[in-house]
């Protein structure tokens, strides 16, 4: 079987790495890929949002399974277009992708389906939004409605912060057209977790639990990013909480989408805030998370390809996923200045030494080749991932690999996985 992975980030590197291990796979292609993905797949210079180009590529290369990584091609309708060509596609339809493509759509679905989430208001006018947050009794979170590469959420400490956030999103257009409308919701207090599941539109099979670290600085300080690191399993997700999320969030969401005529096939990702009153849903992503995918697939023992095919073909029922009990930790190494502006083209040193460590693997995100050398080409550059016999050793192994890698301006958080150290009984 010939497989195409669409995208060029750390998530796509992990997918290509895992797919290539399947005995069902003859060859893996990736479009556009990156310098690290070249180890797993033949990379082709077609952008992830170039639907006509990808359609031609699939035909020319005889692709039998296409796996869509990022959110943008999903919301543009890539799955629908490739399916029309007779290709099996793992990735949601354009209609289903609106669950991520519009936070307003997602919040209204949660409200109507009784899925636990924070109280919210929707605004089309900046003045009305400012007036609302000025009078709000509780701290608020301001969210751009559309896609913003994981950065369109501003968590506010008080009214002044919220007013500034409204101006940033709606007037200064910090996230472009994604901020033409916005959601203002009550700020929830607790610990975040990422909950991902495979679904074919009927059956829902959860992946192992995980936890992302969205803020740029240690201690969850500073602006949100696409994710600065992740680990799996996440001990905050107890067995009881796991069942609650499945029954109150994941299964009802898949059912609600089907009822709306938007059959959801692919990965459903729920961002969960574990509060004193129970789990509350922050948002949905209609694809694998990045960087959660890196530690999740580093722990997955099952062949992923039959699972991808089953989701696409509607026969997921009865399938199971096997996991290694060893925890895995991914530390994102980023370019100085991210999530704002940052330089590119810095030569990366030490990759071979880090990859040589027995329980580590370096997944590439923003990398490229220049004059035979691997250089930085994005904000999030690498996802340095490692396993260990327990979470303490997994964290140690990941940071030992990180210490071997360097470039001018490299930055990373030093506290990835710290929250897990205070908890027991990983789910």
Structure confidence by residue, pLDDT tens digits, 219-277? 999 988 999 999 999 999 999 999 999 999 999 999 999 999 999 999 999 999 999 99
% of the chain at pLDDT higher than 70:
99
**What is the distance, to the nearest Å, from the Cα of residue 114 to the centroid of all Cα atoms in its chain?**
25
Give the C-alpha separation, 186 to 209, whole Å. Answer: 25
Mean per-residue pLDDT for 167-192?
95
Inform me whether the pLDDT recorded for 148 exceeds 90. no
Tell me: pLDDT of 427 over 50: no
Distance CA(253)–CA(241), nearest Å, equals: 17
pLDDT on residue 270: 98
Sign of torsion over alpha carbons 233, 414, 267, 225: positive
Helix axes 126-134, 159-166, angle to 10 degrees: 170
Across 282-295, average pLDDT: 97
The tokens for 274 are 């574990």
Structure tokens at 203: 């059956």
Element containing residue 159 per DSSP (H, E): helix 159-166
Average pLDDT on 130-137 reads 94
CA distance 284 to 272: 9
Q: Is the bond preceding 32 in cis, omega lying within 30 degrees of 0? A: yes
pLDDT level of residue 426 (50, 70, 90 thresholds):
very low
- Domains by residue range for the chain, with CATH: 2-91 (3.40.50.20), 125-180 (3.30.1490.20), 191-313 (3.30.470.20), 328-421 (3.90.600.10)
Report pLDDT for 355.
Answer: 94
pLDDT at residue 224, rounded to an integer: 87
What is the rounded distance in angstroms from the CA atom of residue 58 to the CA atom of residue 65?
9
Are the CB atoms for 289 and 230 separated by under 8 Å? Answer: yes
Say how far apart CA 362 and CA 17 lie, in whole Å.
11
pLDDT one-digit tens code per residue, 8-50: 999 999 999 999 999 999 999 999 999 999 999 999 999 999 9
Which tokens go with 169?
């999103």
Tens-digit pLDDT profile for residues 189-199 = 999 999 999 99
Provide the pLDDT for residue 101.
Answer: 96
User: Please, is 307 exposed, middle or buried when counting C-beta atoms within 10 Å of its C-beta (0-12, 13-18, 19+)?
Assistant: buried
* Confidence band for 282, pLDDT divided at 50, 70 and 90: very high
- Residue range 380-399, pLDDT digits in tens: 999 999 999 999 999 999 99
Phi, psi of 62 (to 5 degrees): 65, 40
User: Distances in Å between the alpha carbon of 251 and those of 176, 201, 270?
Assistant: 33, 10, 11
> How much is the pTM?
0.95
Joined tokens for residue 394:
């997994």
If DSSP codes are grouped into helix, strand and coil, which group holds residue 98? helix
User: Is the per-residue pLDDT at 107 higher than 60?
Assistant: yes
pLDDT given at position 424 = 54
Residue 200 CB coordination number (10 Å): 22
Which of 424, 192, 194, 422 has its CA nearest to residue 296?
A: 194
Query: Residues 131, 133, 134, CA angle at the centre, nearest 5°?
Result: 60
- Which pLDDT tens digit goes with each residue over 111-133? 999 999 999 999 999 999 999 99
pLDDT for the residue 22: 98
pLDDT of residue 151: 77
pLDDT averaged over every residue in the chain: 96
Burial 35-74 (b: 16+ CB within 10 A, else e): bbbbebbebbebebebbebbbebbeeeebbbbbbbbbbbb
Residue with tokens 């913003």: 148
């Amino acid at each position: 079987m010939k497989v195409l992975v669409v995208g060029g980030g750390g998530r796509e590197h992990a997918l290509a790495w895992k797919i290539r291990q399947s005995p069902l796979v003859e060859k893996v292609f990736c479009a556009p890929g990156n310098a690290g993905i070249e180890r797993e797949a033949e990379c082709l210079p077609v952008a992830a949002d170039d639907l006509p180009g990808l359609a031609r590529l699939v035909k020319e290369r005889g692709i039998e399974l296409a796996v869509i990584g990022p959110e943008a091609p999903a919301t543009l309708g890539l799955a629908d277009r490739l399916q029309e060509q007779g290709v099996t596609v793992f990735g949601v339809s354009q209609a289903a992708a609106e669950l991520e493509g519009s936070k307003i759509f997602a919040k209204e679905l949660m409200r109507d389906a009784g899925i636990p989430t924070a109280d919210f208001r929707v605004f089309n006018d900046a003045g009305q939004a400012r007036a609302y947050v000025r009078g709000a009794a509780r701290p608020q979170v301001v969210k751009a409605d559309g896609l913003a590469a994981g950065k369109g959420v501003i968590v506010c400490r008080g009214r002044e912060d919220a007013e500034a956030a409204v101006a940033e999103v709606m007037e200064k257009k910090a996230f472009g057209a994604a901020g033409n409308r916005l959601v203002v919701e009550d700020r929830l207090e607790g610990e975040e977790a990422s909950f991902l599941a495979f679904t074919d539109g009927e059956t829902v099979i959860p992946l192992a639990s995980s936890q992302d670290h969205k803020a740029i600085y240690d201690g969850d300080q500073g602006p949100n990013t696409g994710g600065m690191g992740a680990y799996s399993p996440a001990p905050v997700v107890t067995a009881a909480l796991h069942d609650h999320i499945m029954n109150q969030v994941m299964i009802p969401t898949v059912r609600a989408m089907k009822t709306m005529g938007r059959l959801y096939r692919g990965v459903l990702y729920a961002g969960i805030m574990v509060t004193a009153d129970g789990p509350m849903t922050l948002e949905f992503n209609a694809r694998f998370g990045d960087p959660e995918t890196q530690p999740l697939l580093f722990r997955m023992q099952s062949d992923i390809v039959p699972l991808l095919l089953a989701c696409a073909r509607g026969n997921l029922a009865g399938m199971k996923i096997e996991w290694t009990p060893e925890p895995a930790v991914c530390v994102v190494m980023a370019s100085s200045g991210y999530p704002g502006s940052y330089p590119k083209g810095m030569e990366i040193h030490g990759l071979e030494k880090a990859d040589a460590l027995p329980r580590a693997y370096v997944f590439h995100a923003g990398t490229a080749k220049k004059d035979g050398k691997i250089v930085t080409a994005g904000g999030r550059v690498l996802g340095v991932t490692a396993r260990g016999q327990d979470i303490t050793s997994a964290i140690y192994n990941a940071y030992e690999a990180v210490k071997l890698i360097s470039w001018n301006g490299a930055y990373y958080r030093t506290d990835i996985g710290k929250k897990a150290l205070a908890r027991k009984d990983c789910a």
